[in-house]
Amino acid sequence: MTTVAGKLGAGGMRFALIVSRFNRFITDRLLEGAIDTLRRMGAAESDLTVLWVPGALEIPALARTVARAGAHDAVVCHGAVIRGATTHYDHVCIAAVGGAAEVALEAEERGVVVTTGILTTENLEQAIERAGSKSGNKGSDAAMAAV
Ligand code: INI
């Protein structure tokens, strides 16, 4: 039997952690989860770079720039898009998550991994649940996926 599975060791890997300031109450928790996971998997402090963007909409462009620059093995994206009164939510969700997925495909050709811990939720409660409470921490999950 041949089985292909990743090994969970982050030693020697360089990570760019992109995080949006919008809904920072949530994104701070996603970032903390990612950093905690990477440290526990052996990543060196000097191999972690945190890059802030204004909102989730800005994540894909920076992720692409970082992936193309070649200074990191993985780019982990963190954001929190929470539905408001208008359709803006839908546009930001599609552009942010779809954009990050497109960047991931391009980056893969360069041997760079791009993963997303971008929450898209109906309300704040759902976001809190996914940022370190009863539904885990999606920042941590995205970091683990990158490794
Ligand atoms: N950005 C987010 O990260 N989350 C949101 O919930 C959000 N909403 O709902 O508007 C949001 N908007 C800002 C957007 O990401 C850009 O930063 C802004 O439009 C400037 O380009």
| Whether the CB of 26 sits within 6 Å of ligand 1 | no
What is the DSSP-derived secondary structure letter of residue 107? H
Residue-wise DSSP of 9-63: --TT--EEEEEESTTHHHHHHHHHHHHHHHHHTT--GGGEEEEEESSGGGHHHHH
Only one residue has tokens 């993985």, namely 74
Is the confidence at residue 103, as pLDDT, over 90?
yes
Average pLDDT (115-135) is 96
Give the confidence band of 21 by pLDDT, cuts at 50, 70, 90: very high
Q: How far is CA 136 from CA 23, 103, 113, 131, in A?
A: 18, 25, 22, 6
pLDDT tens digits, 44-54: 999 999 999 99
Determine how many CB atoms are found less than 10 A away from the CB of residue 98.
11
Task: Say what the pTM is.
Answer: 0.95
Residue of 92, 93, 121, 123 to mutate, ligand 1, most atoms within 8 A of C-beta: 92
| Whether the CB of 79 sits within 6 Å of ligand 1 | yes
88 tagged catalytic: yes
| Whether the CB of 70 sits within 6 Å of ligand 1 | no
Is-contact 9 147, C-beta < 8 A? Answer: yes
Give the atom of ligand 1 at the shortest distance from the alpha carbon of 53.
Answer: 17
- List beta partners, residue 81: 120
pLDDT tens digits, 52-99: 999 999 999 999 999 999 999 999 999 999 998 888 999 999 999 999
Of 58, 62, 74, which is closest to residue 16 (Cα–Cα)?
A: 74
